[in-house]
Amino acid sequence: MLIKKPSDIRSSEITPKKVCFDRRKFLGGAAALGAAALTGRVGGELLAPGRVWADVAKLNVTVKSPFSTTEKMNSLDEVTHYNNYYEFGTDKYSPAKYAQALRTRPWKVVVDGEVLKPKTFDIDDLLKLAPMEERIYRHRCVEGWSIVVPWNGYSLSTLINVVQPTSKAKYVQFLTALDKESMIGAREPILDWPYSEGLRMDEAMYPLTLLCFGMYGEELPKQNGAPVRTVIPWKYGFKCCKSIVHIRFVSSQPPTAWNTYAPNEYGFYSNVNPNVDHPRWSQATERRLGDFFKRKTLMFNGYDQVASLYSGMDLRKYY
């Protein structure tokens, strides 16, 4: 696979419009073969979900969250075979193939910084920290496509309350694992590795912000961010940090991967806002994976309850 230099690469180039939605659902086998031809792989590697699902375990999901949307969910196959995870390649089909090399056990998550009780958590301890909820969230990608997924986890605030941030903690920074042996994409200077993201404390504490361990009642598959990630449904997808190994509480706004790479295109807040175009394309519409026609993009991705977090802010300036 040819990887462009950092000065050349742009997300719109990485994901051409013609592959911004999953054509297999309505074009059948012909589109699957076309995708295989474009990526240099046979259809079986793209379409057999068992290959990327067989080694995960059931989650004890006990709570159906009232935060869930009633919209039709995307299929497991769609969600596990069309992914953004640049550590495993820049096209949408590479993560499903290459992420299987990632070792997710044992796994530790360091939580430190401006907290009274810093701690290193084993992933299995995190799984037991609170009852596991199912939250069916809309998920909007900055590139123009969207999905609806039943995520499994609990509010990030649960973990935050355990470590007890001090008054100096104004932001939370998340860092993704960096293993260049298994992460073929991270061998290239595409972004400033390891991948980092951040939230303001009130965003991190908001009940919708999910610390996520699974989807569809199973542990997360590797290409979707195993074994633990965040899901912030009112923000564009790149704000959700995958395969987290470090959560740090800090006093000033932390650097984030895409904002560092192209600050004129990817803001720190990255709220879904159909009224603010990306410099190179409109954000007014989106295409749900599996659908033919586009739909209107909703402010805050339809999660209007978070609007109070940004009262008085210019969301064109703080994009």
Provide the residue range defining the domain that includes 95. 11-310
Question: What is the predicted pLDDT for the residue at 34?
Answer: 36
Number of domains in the chain: 1
Question: What is the predicted pLDDT for the residue at 27?
Answer: 34
Question: Does residue 315 sit within a domain?
Answer: no
| pLDDT(49) > 60 | no
Mean pLDDT of the 184-192 span:
95
Question: Does residue 319 sit within a domain?
Answer: no
Mean pLDDT for the chain?
Answer: 87
Going by C-alpha positions, the residue among 92, 93, 113, 8 that lies closest to residue 43 is 93
Share of the chain above pLDDT 90, in %: 82
Question: Does residue 4 sit within a domain?
Answer: no
Q: What's the rounded Cα separation, in Å, for the pair 157 and 162?
A: 9
Query: Residue 106 carries which side chain, given as an amino acid letter?
Result: P
pLDDT in tens, 7-41: 444 444 444 333 333 333 333 333 333 333 333 33
Q: What's the rounded Cα separation, in Å, for the pair 92 and 10?
A: 14
Report pTM: 0.85
Phi-psi region for residue 89, left (φ > 0), alpha (ψ -120 to 50) or beta?
left
| pLDDT(193) > 50 | yes
Q: Which of 9-13, 80-84, 212-216, 275-279 has the lowest mean pLDDT?
A: 9-13
| pLDDT(43) > 90 | no
Question: Does residue 225 sit within a domain?
Answer: yes
Mean pLDDT of the 261-290 span:
96
Question: Does residue 40 sit within a domain?
Answer: yes
CATH of the domain at 211: 3.90.420.10
Mean pLDDT of the 279-295 span:
96
299 alpha carbon, distance to own chain's centre: 19
Question: Does residue 245 sit within a domain?
Answer: yes
Question: Does residue 3 sit within a domain?
Answer: no
Q: Which of 46-60, 69-83, 104-118, 226-240 has the lowest mean pLDDT?
A: 46-60
Question: What is the predicted pLDDT for the residue at 33?
Answer: 30
Alpha carbon separation from 124 to 104, 120, 127, 128, 156 (Å, rounded): 11, 12, 5, 7, 16
| pLDDT(282) > 60 | yes
Question: Does residue 165 sit within a domain?
Answer: yes
Total Cβ atoms within 10 A of residue 63: 13
pLDDT in tens, 83-98: 999 999 999 999 999 9
Total Cβ atoms within 10 A of residue 27: 14
pLDDT grade, residue 56 (50/70/90)? Answer: confident
Structure token pair of residue 63: 């709570």
